Structure 1
């Protein structure tokens, strides 16, 4: 579900198709934010902002390797996948179940955590495949929240 599952499934699907000849993986990912929906309150204006920015959504795609040129027309290529865990960030994004529903909590430290670690993460991701011009490829960090966007 959501961002974490979407990124994880792309990484796993890429590994599956690259290691199983002629394999194709149907990826379906959905996220439902309705559990966090509630009326605004003066004590928690951040919740209203998050509800305005994020919403329910879903996507589906087929991932394969070595396309059959007569019938398949790939639009994108997944060149590399990785997962980076930044130490001491366990409180960066969290969720708490309250009597009013699920409350997402985004630490004020998240933008600086990204800024302090993005260059190292990009070098680790793109260095092994020979890319040093990060603007030449599509990539996106995604911890969520208005300050991070």
Structure 2
């Protein structure tokens, strides 16, 4: 078992990956990798790295554990933070969360493993001239998250080109299910309009945003699980193939082509 621990913003060592290994009683020679300061794209980054590992190591299992606690980002005793509109907006928009998934190269009938999705392809794309659109900076008062008003426009302008790299054989985006990182209403609207998606295609993302907020690196796994739950319950999007998309500092886009393996009970 290899383990990827993902933290959108983590500033302590020894890291939580070590504590998690102890809590799970994993072997002392388990291979660990902690991913920090990748923002909301980190969950996608971990999935892409996990796919690379299992593709080259038949039979491997990688535990991807994502966690981010954003509520302490604002210092309520700091007048500068309280006057910072972008800081206040990000504080209201974000939420705390943790999620995990196991990625493998094949499944074992003997162990009664039941895979849910296959990662068919994955890509990471850096959007040009957007390095200051999403930033996370460490200040004396804590971590400062700055989201530019240009983020939705940048996503709208570039998302079709990014997805063409991951979905070359899918010219009709409405033939897919969609799990888009719930970065905010404007971001989801930008993706929906740029790709001309039917309104219900981002229902899972909007549900997670409304119920939990933007949980940064943990959010994309919440959304894909919501997609699964809706399909099991006879939801409105039974498509076999789908796309998972996450956005982060850079601006970085992590994009995946997924395939449902089977339907499972909740």
The structure whose RCO (Cα within 8 Å, separation 6+) is larger is 2
Distance in 1, matches of 2:113 and 2:173, equals: 28
> CA shift at 1:60, angstroms?
1.4
Q: SS where residue 81 of structure 1 aligns?
A: strand
Does 1:131 find its partner at 2:170?
yes
Distance in 1, matches of 2:186 and 2:51, equals: 31
- Write out per-residue CA displacement over residues 42-69 of structure 1, whole angstroms, 9 at most, x where no aligned residue: x323322222221221111111122123
Runs of 5+ unmatched residues, structure 2: 1-6, 9-39, 189-266
Distance in 1, matches of 2:120 and 2:179, equals: 11
Runs of 5+ unmatched residues, structure 1: none
Does 1:6 find its partner at 2:43?
yes
> Any conservation in 2 of the 1:22–1:64 contact (CA below 8 Å)?
yes
RMSD: 2.1
Show the counterpart of 2:154.
Answer: 113
> CA shift at 1:137, angstroms?
3.3
In terms of fraction of residues, the more strand-rich structure is 2
> CA shift at 1:141, angstroms?
5.4
Distance in 1, matches of 2:164 and 2:46, equals: 23
Q: Runs of at least 4 residues of structure 1 off by over 6 A?
A: none
Q: Paired residues, what number?
A: 145
- After superposition, where does 1:43-82 map in structure 2 within 5 Å? 43-70=83-110, 71-82=112-123
CA distance change for structure 1 residues 146 and 94 in 2, over 3 Å: closer, same or farther? farther
TM-score (norm 2): 0.50
- Write out per-residue CA displacement over residues 96-123 of structure 1, whole angstroms, 9 at most, x where no aligned residue: 3333322111111111100101111111
> CA shift at 1:21, angstroms?
1.1
Show the counterpart of 1:140.
Answer: 180
> Any conservation in 1 of the 2:48–2:122 contact (CA below 8 Å)?
yes
